[in-house]
Amino acid sequence: GWSAPIKTNVINVTGAGDAMMAGLASCWVDGMPFAESVRFAQGCSSMALSCEYTNNPDLSIANVISLVENAECLN
């Protein structure tokens, strides 16, 4: 499958891959379907990329869900 990337204003790439893997792991533990897990993980990564810090202090399940539901995607 394929999931369109979330349009993101990249500020700092440090931690983006870790955030994505943490999102995937969290979804796997919660038993979320794979396609939804990938989208959630993309949201985690997007939030990490858009923050000057390695760990975005605004990263939360609620904020990631909101981002994923409202994000513009690149095609």
Q: What is the pLDDT of residues 6-60, one digit of tens each?
A: 999 999 999 999 999 999 999 999 999 999 999 999 999 999 999 999 999 999 9
**Neighbour count for residue 67 (Cβ, 10 Å):** 20
Looking at residue 70, its amino acid is N
Residues 1-5, mean pLDDT to the nearest whole number: 86
